[in-house]
C-alpha cells in the first residue's frame, strides 16, 4: 500500500478545526490551502516573522492530510467530522502519493545559503561550497533565523563588515543564535545572546556548540550587566520601539546598534524611537525590509530636549 492524501474543501472556521482533529487522530501531516488559489478569488494570508497571522485558513479552504498506508480514509474523515461536531462526514477526495525518501526530499529543499562577501549558512547534511569562507552550520528548526529571511540576511551582511576583533556584541532576540555565532566568528568577544523564549535559548546554545562558537546565552532577566560595542536586534518594529531606551542603554558611548525586523514603511517611526540616544538611519533595504544602524552619541539627551 502507498501513502495517500485525504482532501476536504470547506469554510475557514471548520477547516481550522478539522485540521486539528485530523492531526489528533494520527494523520502524518496536515496543511490548509486556499481552495481559490490561482483564481480571482484568491486571498493572501501573511504576518510578520515571529507572529501568528490573525487568520490561519482561507474563507474557502482545502484541508490536505497525509495518511499512512494502514489508515482508512473514510474512517479517519468520519472520526474527524464527529470530533468537531459535524452532522455528517464532508465529501472528500483521495490522491495517491508516490513512494519517496521523505527525509532526503525534505533536506533537498534546504541548500547552502551565500550571504555577504564570504558567509555560507550550511545545513549539516551539506558540504560547505567554500571551506575557507565564514561557515555557519545550521539546520532549519523552531527558532527563527537560518539566513533565508531578508531581515536575518541584512543583519549578517552588516555584522560581516562592522565587527572588529575584540569588540563585545549583544544579540537581543537571538533566535537560533545565527547572528551571535557570526559575530564570534568575525572575532567579537565577548558575545552574548538573549531571547525571551527558553526553547530558542537552548537551540542557540546547541548551534553554538556545533559551530564551536563561544557565546553566552540568557533569558532577559539574566542578561549580563554592562554595555557593548555593538548591539544587534532582529525582532519586530513594535517591540523594537518599546525597547528603545533599554537597548540604547546597552550600547557604549560611540558604540553601534543595528535593528531589523522592520518593514521599509515602518523605518522612520522606529528610528524616531532611538534618536534621543542614537544617530540612526536606514543602512540597507532588501525585499521591502530594512536594517537601521546608528552610533550612540557621547552626550545623551532626553526626549523633548533639543
Q: How much is the pTM?
A: 0.65
Tell me the chain's radius of gyration from C-alpha atoms.
23
Residue 130 pLDDT greater than 70, yes or no: yes
C-alpha–C-alpha distance, residues 37 and 44, integer Å:
9
Closest CA to 70 of 26, 20, 8: 26
**pLDDT for position 126:** 77
Write out pLDDT tens, residues 91-108. 999 988 776 655 555 555
pLDDT digits (tens, 9 = 90+) for 104-128: 555 555 678 888 899 988 887 778 7
**pLDDT tens readout for residues 243-295:** 999 999 999 999 999 999 999 999 999 999 999 999 999 999 998 999 999 99
What is the domain partition of the chain in residue ranges? Answer: 3-99, 144-296
- In CATH terms, 144-296 corresponds, of 3.30.70.1230, 3.40.1260.10, 3.40.50.150, 3.40.50.720, to 3.40.50.150
- Exposure class string for 200-223: b at 16+ Cβ within 10 A, else e: bbebbeebbeebebebebeeeeeb
- 301 contacts 253 by C-beta, under 8 angstroms: no
Q: Is the dihedral of CA 264, 237, 44, 106 positive or negative?
A: positive
CATH fold of 3-99 reads Alpha-Beta Plaits (3.30.70)
For the chain, what is the mean pLDDT?
Answer: 85
pLDDT average, residue stretch 39-44: 50
- As given in the structure block, the three cell numbers for residue 45 are 494570508
Closest CA to 43 of 62, 26, 29: 62
- Give residue for cell 560547505: 128
**Confidence band, pLDDT 50/70/90 cuts, at residue 196:** very high
Q: Residue 200 above 60 pLDDT?
A: yes
Q: Is the pLDDT of residue 53 over 80?
A: no
Amino acid at each position: 500500500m502507498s501513502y495517500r492524501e485525504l482532501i476536504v474543501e470547506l469554510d475557514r472556521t471548520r477547516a481550522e478545526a478539522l485540521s486539528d482533529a485530523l492531526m489528533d487522530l494520527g494523520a502524518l501531516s496536515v496543511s490548509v490551502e486556499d481552495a481559490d488559489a490561482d483564481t480571482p478569488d484568491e486571498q493572501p494570508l501573511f504576518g510578520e516573522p515571529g507572529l501568528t497571522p490573525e487568520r490561519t485558513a482561507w474563507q474557502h479552504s482545502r484541508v490536505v492530510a497525509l495518511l499512512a498506508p494502514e489508515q482508512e480514509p473514510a474512517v479517519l474523515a468520519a472520526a474527524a467530522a464527529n470530533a468537531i461536531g459535524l452532522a455528517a462526514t464532508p465529501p472528500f477526495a483521495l490522491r495517491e502519493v508516490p513512494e519517496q525518501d521523505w527525509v532526503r526530499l525534505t533536506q533537498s529543499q534546504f541548500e547552502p545559503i551565500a550571504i555577504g562577501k564570504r558567509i555560507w549558512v550550511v545545513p549539516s547534511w551539506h558540504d560547505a561550497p567554500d571551506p575557507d569562507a565564514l561557515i555557519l552550520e545550521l539546520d532549519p528548526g523552531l527558532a527563527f533565523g537560518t539566513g533565508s529571511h531578508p531581515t536575518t540576511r541584512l543583519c549578517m551582511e552588516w555584522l560581516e563588515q562592522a565587527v572588529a576583533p575584540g569588540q563585545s556584541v549583544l544579540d537581543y532576540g537571538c533566535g537560533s543564535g545565527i547572528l551571535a555565532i557570526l559575530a564570534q566568528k568575525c572575532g567579537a568577544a565577548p558575545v552574548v545572546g538573549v531571547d525571551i523564549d527558553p526553547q530558542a535559548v537552548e537551540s542557540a546554545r546547541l548551534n553554538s556548540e556545533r559551530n564551536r562558537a563561544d557565546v553566552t546565552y540568557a533569558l532577559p532577566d539574566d542578561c549580563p550587566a554592562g554595555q557593548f560595542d555593538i548591539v544587534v536586534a532582529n525582532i519586530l518594529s513594535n517591540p523594537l520601539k518599546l525597547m528603545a531606551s533599554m537597548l540604547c542603554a546597552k550600547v557604549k558611548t560611540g558604540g553601534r546598534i543595528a535593528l531589523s525586523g522592520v518593514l521599509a514603511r515602518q523605518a522612520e517611526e522606529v528610528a524616531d524611537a532611538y534618536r534621543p540616544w542614537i544617530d540612526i538611519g536606514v543602512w540597507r533595504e532588501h525585499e521591502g525590509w530594512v536594517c537601521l544602524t546608528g552610533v550612540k552619541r557621547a552626550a545623551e539627551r532626553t526626549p523633548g530636549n533639543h
